[in-house]
Amino acid sequence: MPLFLKPVFHEKIWGGNRLKDYGYELPSDYVGEVWGISAHPNGKCEILNGPYQGQTLDQVWSEHRELFGDFPSQEFPLMTKIVDARESLSVHVHPDDAYAYENEKEQYGKSECWYIIDAEEGAEIIYGLNTESKDLAIDKIDEEDYEALLNKVKVKPGEFYFIPAGTIHSIGEGILVYETMQSSDVTYRVYDYERTHDTGDKRVLNKDKAKDVIELSNDNINIPTDTEIIENHKRTQLVSSDFFTIVKWKISGTLNYMKPREFVLVSVLKGEGQVIVDGEVYTLDQGQNFILTSDDLDTIFEGDYELIVSYL
């Protein structure tokens, strides 16, 4: 039986309300992130169906590791979310596993990736550095010369970007992103457009740690994707890394699906249909998130919809 999950909403100073279009009942007009699949302490998704209904994903991971192929990790390793950038996010960077463990007592650092769901005309992301060395980048941070420091990229719907740990980045105004990442919430802000909280205090920056972990990562920006047609369905492998593999499926009709690993994370980006798992039928709509576990042996996707499938 697949594990369907209740999303967790996070309000952000830069968030909006576009995620209402996904059928979500938002708590406010400033929701920046919907965590669709998460066992992280800052946003634990609740199981909505079956024998584990009402339990959180971290509980099921801890007590029923057999559902996940007995994967040898204390913490659930991946997280998915949708990000609504009404305004630009802070310019920030994430550490790798070793730095996060040493300095934050976290098991995972944060490599992530973005699928651009929607973007206003001319919308931009920040991806990587304009400098030729890390030393020069640190100088520019100290000088607060962000125009010289940051590499800006115009984006369009349907594009994909892999952001390894150490890559300075930001999602710009007017962009809606589906994001898969390591299960981490460690972020080091470098610049935040002088924004303040309701108290009038500026948001905290973490420049010293950011300078420790930033890398020249621009070479990862244009990773070639691999597309093939399988049984009249379009399968696009967006990235395969040490941290995760991401595949986008465009389902048209009926697909007999074989899981590539013991468990996979599935999100419905667009459209509707159903998934049939070991003979049981489950309705699928835009915005739903679920996990196919080791117990789910026979899976059929049926309908007209688009999926993102993530796995280790």
Any idea which residues carry the catalytic annotation?
Answer: 189
Question: Which positions ≥6 away from 191 have C-beta within 8 Å?
Answer: 90, 91, 144, 146, 205
* Cα–Cα separations (whole angstroms), residue 285 to 103, 127, 183, 277: 41, 32, 25, 16
129 C-beta neighbours (distance < 10 Å), count: 23
Which residues are registered as beta bridge partners of 303?
A: 253, 273
Q: Which residue has the tokens 């801890």?
A: 62
**Rounded Cα distance, 10 and 68, in Å:** 27
Instruction: Say if residue 169 carries a ligand binding annotation.
Output: yes
CA-based nearest residue to 210, from 256, 162, 150: 150
Go through the chain and tell me how many residues it has.
Answer: 312
Token pair of 172, please? 């710009």
* Cα–Cα separations (whole angstroms), residue 266 to 56, 199, 254: 17, 40, 17
**Rounded Cα distance, 294 and 60, in Å:** 13
Spell out a b/e string for 256-266, using b for 16 or more CB atoms within 10 Å of the CB, else e: ebebeebbbbb
3-state DSSP assignment of residue 21: helix
Instruction: Say if residue 11 carries a ligand binding annotation.
Output: no
* Cα–Cα separations (whole angstroms), residue 50 to 67, 259, 282: 13, 20, 12
Binding-site residues, in ranges, read 94, 112, 169
Binding-site residues for Zn(2+), in ranges, read 94, 112, 169
